[in-house]
Structures are given as structure tokens and as C-alpha cells.
Amino acid sequence: MPRRARPRTAGRTARVARPGVVLRPGKDARLRAGHLWVYRTEIARLDGAPQDGEAVLVRAASGRPLGMGLLNTRSVIAVRLLAAEEREIDERFFRDRLESALSLRARLPPPATAASARRLVYSEGDYLPGLIVDRYGDVLVIQTLTLGMDRRKELLVRLLMEMVQPRGIYARNDPAVRRLEGLPRETGWLAGDGPAQVDIEEDESRFAVDVAQGQKTGFFLDQRENRTRVADLASGARVLDCFAYTGAWSIRAVRRGAVSATGLEISEAAVALAEQNASQNACGDRCRWLRENAFDGLRRLAAAGPAFDVAILDPPAFVKTRSALAAGLAGYKEINLRALKVLGPNGWLVTCSCSYHVEEAELTAVVHEAARDARRRIRIVERRSQAGDHPVHPAMPETRYLKCLIVAVE
């Protein structure tokens, strides 16, 4: 007699398929190599009616799972992967990732102090796309730059308050990139409160940082190691600091032995902080701040002839899209040409680009062309990048955005 089929146990339920994204054929190779972005044009279909901001399982056209990510169909980058395996994207996941990021910073020099400043979480570089967390003394500044991270902001703030125990967490959700995610501009305290101006230490120097109104999150943490290196080179030198912001390059150099520093900075608020910073570092008598456009200031100083031994160029990003590359490279060439003309013999040119779309080879070519036009012989002695607290994802060249060349000028 045939055996009856055993009835399904009442407490046993069929596994519910995760909401997912299926890629078009041939669009999985980059993700299999470790890249974390899925472009909207690479998606064939959505399975399970996932909502924007939701965690989804990404699959190749063959059905092969590629990882878990956060969805936003309004964005050109429609999915940002968080994990290479199928798993829950829950509190435990974010706690583990934050612990990993904090553990790395604890291993990086210099040792942390109560007034330390460093990047604690660097988006894709820490496998947390869309999340930036900077520490300024006892204050954290957070940016949730994608819809998926913004939806989890309350959880992230709670975890950071528990794990780091800062005085407060301030949101600097004002970058233009949030508009591409359909997110509004948003700033203010998310936890704790207090003055928005914080004093920090960088090596032997102290700086006032305005976390509410300053550029980026208040300070250029990515240049910390480069400032240290250049300060060592600047002993006994006359320094010209272009796009000086709040004076960190100048003050670090003077504190290390530069005889003088002249800063060019157009922002009145930044110049006021630069003056305050120079005063609290007891070097105001050796620092001079000129409130003017760096292009105009360089042109004027170049016309007067060589008067400096070190010229530092740390401009904002001139190239924010690939279509703006030609115009941006022309701008880089002009400032490098002018800077070369203010340098005396045996000088140093420190030239930087924070534009991801400008490759190091392109910056090198621009500096070479500028040197030929200025009739100066140059040698590149160091090629540097961002500080170690901005780690580079090996499969994502987008995470290595900062280029810094140290150039010997004859």
C-alpha cells in the first residue's frame, strides 16, 4: 500500500524570500571583484517589491547571490553593498562594523588623547557606504549621505553614543550629494549639545574647529600626515599657504621652525579662526593672513618675484564631474605656475588635489607643464595621499581621492 505523504508540521514555515535586486547579464563582474556600487542602469528587475532605503539581496542574472545592500531607486547608484554574503542588516551588523572601524583607529598613530581629532568612519573605506563620522575632541560629527544610512541614523547615533561616549553628536548633513539621494539639508545636534566650536590637538598644535559652519565637517583631517611631513621640510623657511582655511598648514610649519607663514584665504570666518589659532599657538607674530582669492593673491605675489621657500597649494575640488576635467586641469596648472614663480631657488612646492576625477598622473603632468612654462627644473620627491584614518578600499579607487605631491624646485 503506498505510503501517505506526511502533513506539514503546523509550526514549520516556508522560508520567505528576501526582497532583492537582479542584475542585467554581464553586470556582475565588478561586484564579484569587490566593488560596492550597483548603478541603476545595471538592474534588470526588483524582486519582492523592495522599498527605497530597505536592505536587499543583490543577485547576478544567473541567480548567484552577490551581497546585501541598501536600495535607493532614485539615485544613480541604486544599491550600495554592505556585505558580500546574505545576512541580516540589523543592529548587530552595524555594531560589528563600527567596532571594526574604531579598532582600526585605535591601532593608528598617534595615540588618542582627550582632544584628538580623526575620522572614525570613512564610508566605503570602512565598508559602511554613505556614513562619515569624525571625532573632534569630545564631539562627533556625523554625515548620513545616502537614503539607507539616513533611515538608520537614530540607530547609528545610539550606538556611537554608547561606544565612543562623546559629549554630543552633531549632524552635518549639508553636502550637495544628499540631494542626489532625495534627502534634505539637515544640521544640528542629534544627541547632547553645547558649543559648536571645539578645540582639538594635532601633534604639538591646537586648533579651534567650528563643527557647525566650517568646511566639510569643520577641519581637513585627511591632510594631517601631510601637514606633519611638510612641517618637517619647512624649518627655517618662508612659507606661502594658499587656500589656507583656518591656518593648519601655516601654524604647523611655524611651530616646527619656519621663520614665517603667509596665508591666502578668501573666507572672513576662516581668517578669523586662523588668527585665533595662531594666537593660541603663540605664533601670531610669525603668521600673516591675507583675505583674498588665492588666484588673485598668487598672481600679485608672482609679479613681485620670488619671496618664499615653500609654497603650499591645497585648493577645494576643482573637478567634481568628469565633464569638468579640462577646465579643472587648467585651474590646477594656473595655480602651480604662479606658485612656482614665487619660489626662490631650492624651494619646495606642495601641491594637492582632492578631486577624485583628477588622477595622480594628470596632476603630475599639470605640474610638469607649469614648471616648463615657468622655466623651473623640478623633481618630485614624494607622492602622498590621505591620512590613514581615511582607509582605501582595494576594489574601489573612488576611496583614494587625495593626491599630494612634494616637489623640489631649482
List, in sequence order, the alpha helices (H) in 265-350.
Answer: 268-280, 294-304, 325-342
pLDDT tens digits, one per residue of 17-51: 799 999 999 999 999 999 999 999 999 999 999 99
- Range of weakest confidence among 57-71, 100-114, 177-191, 256-270: 100-114
Strand pairing partners for 135?
Answer: 118, 140
- What domains does the chain contain, in order, with CATH numbers? 20-83 (2.30.130.10), 91-195 (3.30.750.80), 220-409 (3.40.50.150)
Average pLDDT over residues 156-164: 99
Judge whether 396 and 77 are in contact, CB under 8 Å: no
pLDDT tens digits, one per residue of 273-324: 999 999 999 999 999 999 999 999 999 999 999 999 999 999 999 998 989 9
**What pLDDT score does 9 carry?**
42
Residue 89 predicted with pLDDT over 60: yes
What are the two backbone dihedrals, phi and then psi, of residue 6, each rounded to the nearest 5 degrees? -75, 130
The confidence band for 110, taking pLDDT boundaries of 50, 70 and 90, is: confident
Residue 6 predicted with pLDDT over 50: no
Judge whether 245 and 259 are in contact, CB under 8 Å: no
Judge whether 127 and 82 are in contact, CB under 8 Å: yes
**What pLDDT score does 15 carry?**
52
Considering 242, 352, 354, 404, which one is annotated as catalytic?
354
Q: How far apart are CA 226 and CA 217, in angstroms?
A: 19
Residue 156 predicted with pLDDT over 50: yes
Cell of 140: 562627533
Residue 4 predicted with pLDDT over 80: no
Q: How far apart are CA 30 and CA 36, in angstroms?
A: 9
**What pLDDT score does 389 carry?**
98
pLDDT tens digits, one per residue of 322-378: 899 999 999 999 999 999 999 999 999 999 999 999 999 999 999 999 999 999 999
Judge whether 230 and 276 are in contact, CB under 8 Å: no
Average pLDDT over residues 205-221: 98
- CB within 8 A of 74, min separation 6: which ones? 52, 147, 181, 182
**What pLDDT score does 16 carry?**
55
Rounded to 5°, angle at Cα 310 from 306 and 311: 80
Query: What is the pairing mode between strands 168-173 and 186-191?
Result: antiparallel
Radius of gyration of the chain (CA): 25
Length of the chain as a residue count:
410
- Concerning whether 283 is annotated as a catalytic residue, the answer is no
Residue 10 predicted with pLDDT over 70: no
pLDDT tens digits, one per residue of 239-269: 999 999 999 999 999 999 999 999 999 999 9
Average pLDDT score over the chain: 96
pLDDT tens digits, one per residue of 71-80: 999 999 999 9
Match 591601532 to its residue by C-alpha cell. 107
Question: In 3D, which of 208, 313, 310, 205 has the Cα closest to residue 260?
Answer: 310
